[in-house]
Structure 1
């Protein structure tokens, strides 16, 4: 069995299709999606539809991102968060123009059933953004942190890589897990178009919302697979600038 993690998608169905084609998924494989399926490019509803169909034939885990929280709220309550509307929500709403009420309700159920984090049998943690509790995710007081936190990532950026993991100087948040996989903060913000590994943390958001790519990574071999840059796949769109 192979296990893959796929970073932020942001409505880029064409890029997602490229990555899935490279993975050549087969029976027994598992795919962990890191959240932010919507908001950015023009095919958010189509991305969700594709993921629902994929989950019927392949073992999938869908982690909830902050953009997914906003979209879920809109599908459930017809609530348009102003910040969401400005950061991709408008494009997501338009992508649903040809979807029926029944189809929208099926998508709402998809969002409602997402998990905030996933911990596998090898003590590898997957979540959209990060967490703050020194005692691990199970002790996190506010679950919305899993969608929004950037302090975990920023802490690893500032780490002295010479610190040994078995010393008291090593960050306690990192000690709880064999590996941690996140998205949310694009590696392209730092001029890096590929996944970034610092200590036991892997960031696989490679900027699909903006000018980067969607990335899928085999979490055992660390081989990764990337789409083309999103602006080239959607030449008539701006994405989230």
Structure 2
């Protein structure tokens, strides 16, 4: 059976991402959903984006969503190229691209970021980077909330949500907290799969892992951060 697999908040951790993909052993019929924040913080933002592009070229069925860090890059790029502002963006990101200023970012990368959708929905799930603001009649109304919102569970409109599950990232939590959410998925209908991949110094506390969720088999995968020269 084809698997639907979700990963969020890679944050420049290319080696960790690669090892997690090795764990998953993707097959041709599998679908991969990436929930944003591919860049910043970790040492290999460019490498992560290149890997995503390569997966697409290799024929992997892949949907990549926009996170708040991609949106910040878009704003910073426009600020440098249009407004003439300088020294924008994450320093680790600029080092990974071998540039001193964000305006030097090759255009195909900016186009990649600028074309990322804010959410993806199917009959049984909604995939989004941060979450949904149920204070609006349509929780998809605010694009800013889709990539930035936190602490939104208490406002979930279960009548609107129906039998769907919201799968998201954005707010780091421990392996134990993610496993608890999965155990309560039938009741709560939300799963946050951000295990703080860039937080290599937080492994003893349950952070510092990149998480994948196999929706088809309701199975979690965790890969600890294995980056070198990681700041966090």
Relative to the length of structure 2, the TM-score reads 0.81
Against the structure 1 CA distance between its residues 30 and 62, is the aligned structure 2 distance closer, same or farther, given a 3 Å change threshold?
same
Q: Which consecutive segments of 4 or more residues in structure 1 shift more than 6 A?
A: 79-82
Q: Flag structure 1 segments of 5+ consecutive residues without an equivalent.
A: 157-170
| Alpha-carbon distance in structure 1 between the residues aligned to 2:31 and 2:113 | 19
**2:152 alignment partner, SS class:** helix
Corresponding position of 1:106: 108
1:1-241 equivalences in 2 (<5 Å) = 1-56=2-57, 57-78=59-80, 85=89, 89-97=90-98, 104-120=106-122, 122-134=123-135, 135-138=137-140, 140=141, 142-153=142-153, 155=154, 171-172=156-157, 175-177=160-162, 178-188=164-174, 192=177, 196-197=181-182, 198=184, 199-211=188-200, 212-228=208-224, 230=225, 233-239=226-232
- Aligned partners of 2:178 and 2:191 also within 8 Å: no
| Alpha-carbon distance in structure 1 between the residues aligned to 2:173 and 2:159 | 19
**2:62 alignment partner, SS class:** strand
Relative to the length of structure 1, the TM-score reads 0.78
Against the structure 1 CA distance between its residues 97 and 192, is the aligned structure 2 distance closer, same or farther, given a 3 Å change threshold?
same
Provide, for residues 156-189 of structure 1, a one-character-per-residue CA deviation record: whole Å limited to 9, x for no partner. Answer: 8xxxxxxxxxxxxxx415741411101000113x
| Alpha-carbon distance in structure 2 between the residues aligned to 1:60 and 1:81 | 34
Q: Flag structure 2 segments of 5+ consecutive residues without an equivalent.
A: 201-207
Count how many residue pairs are aligned between Structure 1 and Structure 2.
212
Provide, for residues 93-125 of structure 1, a one-character-per-residue CA deviation record: whole Å limited to 9, x for no partner. Answer: 1111079x99821111111111100001x2310
CA-based RMSD: 2.8
